[in-house]
């Protein structure tokens, strides 16, 4: 049990900064109605951090080449570490808590609440998010060059 706690502790502490980055940028991507990349994307600090989340590189000004393989492997390790840490946390919750029914209730709520909210969302009337639409070509632009 002591080894499980120590492993859970160090996995959590090691991956916490990266998980915070992915949580903040994932939150921003979720609540931003228009996240399409276009000219000017990557100017604000949250857009730059979001580029790390989406494309695995930090956008610098000017032309640059990027190698993303090392960071992708770190993200894979983070994902495995997070899953392992979550499983260890569940084991510790069940083994270390005298109120197992409360732990089971919290786990079931964590499963059912997202399912119910998604189901409610499916039953809601359509909500149109603002999105950049392709503008029709004007008559001048539509004419072939002579």
In the chain, the largest separation of any two C-alpha atoms, in whole Å, equals: 83
Highest mean pLDDT among 30-39, 46-55, 113-122: 113-122
pLDDT single digits (tens) 57-83? 777 777 777 777 888 888 888 889 889
Residue 25 covered by a domain: yes
Q: What is the residue range of 53's domain?
A: 2-97
Q: Taking residues 27-45, report their average pLDDT.
A: 65
Residue 23 covered by a domain: yes
pLDDT of residue 140: 46
Residue 138 covered by a domain: no
What Rg, from alpha-carbon coordinates, does the chain have?
23
Query: Structurally, how many domains does the chain consist of?
Result: 1
> Considering only CA atoms, which of 48, 74, 71 is closest in space to residue 59?
48
pLDDT single digits (tens) 85-134? 989 988 888 888 888 898 899 999 999 998 898 888 887 776 665 555 54
Residue 11 covered by a domain: yes
Residue 103 covered by a domain: no
Residue 56 covered by a domain: yes
Phi and psi (nearest 5°) for 143?
-70, 140
């Amino acid at each position: 049990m002591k080894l499980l706690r120590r492993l859970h502790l160090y996995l959590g502490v090691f991956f916490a900064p990266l998980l915070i980055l992915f949580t903040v940028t994932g939150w921003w991507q979720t609540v931003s109605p228009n996240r399409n990349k276009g000219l000017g994307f990557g100017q604000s600090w949250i857009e730059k951090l979001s580029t790390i989340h989406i494309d695995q590189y930090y956008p610098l000004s000017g032309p640059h080449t990027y190698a993303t393989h090392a960071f992708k492997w770190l993200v894979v390790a983070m994902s495995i570490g997070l899953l392992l840490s979550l499983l260890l946390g569940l084991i510790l919750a069940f083994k270390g808590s005298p109120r197992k029914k409360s732990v089971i209730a919290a786990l079931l709520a964590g499963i059912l609440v997202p399912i119910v909210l998604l189901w409610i969302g499916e039953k809601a009337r359509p909500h149109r998010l603002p999105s950049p639409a392709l503008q029709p070509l004007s008559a001048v632009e539509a004419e072939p060059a002579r």
